[in-house]
Amino acid sequence: MSDPKSKISGTDTNFRLFGNWLSVPEILSALLLSFGSAATVRAETPAESFAAAEVLLHKGVYEEALAGYRDFVSRFPDDWRAAQARFTAAFILQKKLKRPEQAREAYETVIQCNATSPLARHAQYHIAEAYEQGGETQKAIREYRQFLKKAARHARVAGVKNKLEFLDRLSQGQPDAERPGWAYRIERKQWRKSQLPPLEPGEKRQRKGLNK
The answer to the question of residue 20 being in a domain is: yes
pLDDT for the residue numbered 34: 56
The answer to the question of residue 48 being in a domain is: yes
Give me the average pLDDT of each 10-residue run along the chain (212 residues). Answer: 37 46 53 50 80 91 96 96 96 95 96 95 95 91 95 90 88 65 52 56 50 42
Q: What's the number of domains the chain is made of?
A: 1
Backbone Cα Rg of the chain: 21
CB 30 within 8 A of CB 16: no
Signed CA dihedral, 27, 103, 120, 186: sign only = positive
The answer to the question of residue 182 being in a domain is: no
The answer to the question of residue 187 being in a domain is: no
The answer to the question of residue 29 being in a domain is: yes
pLDDT for the residue numbered 179: 58
Angle between helices 157-171 and 137-150 (to 10 degrees): 150
Task: Give the predicted TM-score (pTM) of the model.
Answer: 0.67
Which domain range does residue 49 map to? Answer: 13-79
pLDDT for the residue numbered 197: 59
